[in-house]
Structure formats: C-alpha cells, structure tokens
Structure 1
Amino acid sequence: MTEILVMLVLLLVAVVATVAVLTRDPARQAIVLAVLGLLLALLFTVLQAPDVALSQLGVGTAVTPLLIMLTVRRVRRGKQEPDEGEPAKAGGDR
C-alpha cells in the first residue's frame, strides 16, 4: 500500500513540476510552486522523513512563493509610469 501511495505522490509531483516549468506568468508560477512544495512535503511524510517534510512545508510552500510574489509586485510597481506631479527618475533606482 505504501508503494502505491509513493508512486501516486511522485506522479503528482512530476505533473505539478511540469506545470510550474510551463507556466509563464511569475505570479501564477509562485502559486504552482506553493502547490509543488506542499506535494513534496506530503511525499517526504509518506517516505517517513517528517523533519524534512516540515522544512519543505515552511520553505517550499510558504517562504519561497511569498518572496517571489513580493518581488513580482515590486517589479510591476517599478514599471508603472510616474505621476504627473513627480519628475521621472533618471538612471533607475539607486
């Protein structure tokens, strides 16, 4: 029974990892990476590695997608046009 569960979770991990690679939008990719992290944590739990599963749950499911989303937000905010009252920045952010 354990072998079937491992194979099923491995198959799901492979499918979600492929979707993560094929996703072009960084915001959607962060969500897919969070799902991938959750599936990997499940796989580690099934393989009886709870300490690795907890680390994966914290880092792969929460922290990494959050950092990606914050970076995407910052980059998209930086591409917006400046307000009429503000002069345009010369030379970028320094």
Structure 2
Amino acid sequence: MTILLGALFLIVAATGTGIVLSRQPRRQVMAMAVHGLAMTLLFAALQAPDVAFSQLVVGTVAVPLLFLVVLASLRLHRPPPEDGAKPEGGGPG
C-alpha cells in the first residue's frame, strides 16, 4: 500500500508541475482536469471516498468545464486584429 501511495503522490506532484509549466490556457485547463483525476485516485487510496467523489465532480469536471466556457467566451468577445494599422486620433507616434 505504501508503494501505491508513494506513486500517487509522485503523480500528483508531476501533474501539479504540469499545470504550472503549461503556457497555453487550454493546456492548463486540461492539466487541471488530469490533476483532479490524480487527486481523486489519491483520496480513494487514502480511504476517503466522500472526498474522492467530491474531487471527481468538482476538480475533474466542473471547474475545468467552467474554465473552458470562460475561455470560449473570451475568444468570442475578442475584437478582430487590425492588420498592424494604428488607431485613429490621439495615439503617440
């Protein structure tokens, strides 16, 4: 059992590091979902099924889904690029 816990702790540490080192928001969200799943497995191995189920629902599904919705919303409301043209009036240069 201690080998399993050690392996799960290493997986949790690796997935947490993966979140931090990701630079693209979508990859960060997917890394968060994988980290949530790793935490779920760790909690299940620690014999905390209620916490594991909560982590599965919230950390693996709900939070990453909300982040993906926000990222999609930001992409929809982004103004189109202006082909390098300077804005009219008031800008320096």
Give the TM-score, by structure 1 length: 0.83
Cα deviation, 1:28-70, whole Å, max 9, x if unaligned, reads 1111100000000000000000000000000000000000000
- Tell me the residue number matched to 2:16: 17
Q: Show the 5 A alignment for 1:1-94.
A: 2-81=1-80
- Tell me the residue number matched to 1:84: none
Return 5+ residue gaps in structure 1 as ranges: 82-94
Q: Distance in 2 between matches of 1:80 and 1:42?
A: 42
Count of aligned residue pairs for this structure pair: 80
- Tell me the residue number matched to 1:91: none
- C-alpha deviation, 1:77, in angstroms: 1.2
- C-alpha deviation, 1:80, in angstroms: 3.9
Q: Distance in 2 between matches of 1:27 and 1:80?
A: 20
Q: Distance in 1 between matches of 2:54 and 2:11?
A: 20
Return 5+ residue gaps in structure 2 as ranges: 81-93
Give the TM-score, by structure 2 length: 0.83
Q: Which runs of 4+ in 1 moved over 2 A?
A: none
Identity %: 45
Larger gyration radius, structure 1 or structure 2: 2
